[in-house]
Every structure is written in C-alpha cells, then in structure tokens.
Structure 1
Amino acid sequence: MRQERLTNALQQALADAQSLAIGRDHTAVEPVHLLAALLRQSGGSVRPMLSQAGFDLAGLEGELEAQLQRLAVIKNPTGDITISPDLMRLLNLADK
C-alpha cells in the first residue's frame, strides 16, 4: 500500500479506524474498524452511497458494533497497534 496514493478522505478514515481500535484496546486495526470509520466520516461518500443503494444503515451499524465487540482485546495496552493482515490485503488489492 502506498499511502501517497490514498485520498485524503481515506487517509483520515484510516486514522479514525486506528483511533477506534486503540480506544477499544483491540490488538490490530481490522477492516471492520475502517468500515465503521468510513460510515462515521462527516461529509464522506460511503454513507450516502450505501443509503442510496438501499442499505439498512442502522442494521449495518448495529452489526459493525457487534463485530467490534467480538474482537480480541489487549489486557495491558501500550498504544501501539498494527494493521491486521486482512486489512493490509484489502488495501493492497485496492491499490492495484
């Protein structure tokens, strides 16, 4: 993944996803963190696009919250966090 090729909105969403993961003491930043961050992004395009496509946004947010609650938690968080292999794979595919 080449960060310079990411849009400002995606860079901000990744930072928000990282903050979400750290705030919940998760072991890594996962795709679910990124999707949650994209949905919460003020002025972003993901929420309106999904809404226009007919997605149940409240249901999606509820499922995302359930998924976030199932993720592993660090007992003694240090503030250091990594990108999960799944999220890295997703970002690399998007970079193609």
Structure 2
Amino acid sequence: MASLDSAELTEWIAFDCIETIGEARADLRAGIIASAVANHGSRVIQEPYRPRDFMPYVNRDDDAKPVLHKDPEQQSALILRGVFNREAA
C-alpha cells in the first residue's frame, strides 16, 4: 500500500468491477454450481435461485447508490475500511 497511488488503486478497483479478483470470483463459481443444483429437479419453485443467493458477502441491496464524500480524506478512509478493512493511520 505504501507504493500504491490513488490512480493505480482506482484502476485496480475498476478492473475488479470488470473482472473479479480473488475470493469473490471463487464465491461466484461456487454460487453458480449451488444455484444449478438448487434449481435442478422436478419440484416447482416460485423463483429460480441465482448464484448471488449463495454468495455470503455479496451486497443484496439492488438499489444501493455509491457513497461519495466531498472531503478526499473521508473518501480515502471509506475506501480503506470497505476494501482493505483498515482504519486510516
């Protein structure tokens, strides 16, 4: 983190939005398999399961809006907490 500037961090976040990195990708793969198994069979289901229904850390609030602070320090602290689970030093 000491050598990562704001522009590079922004690029990595944008890349992660396009092509998920790490455990989130593994959760997606597991969710796809779990939803396929849950939707399989002869029973009638009201609404098919989606992969995100089996992903433990996915945000399920479809109406969520991005949080943007006017103060850059507040925005940086939010990013540190949300992305890296750290408090600003």
TM-score with structure 2 setting the length: 0.29
Instruction: Please identify which structure carries the higher helix content.
Output: 1
Higher RCO structure (Cα 8 Å, ≥6 apart): 1
TM-score with structure 1 setting the length: 0.28
Instruction: Please identify which structure carries the higher strand content.
Output: 1
Greater CA radius of gyration, 1 or 2?
A: 2
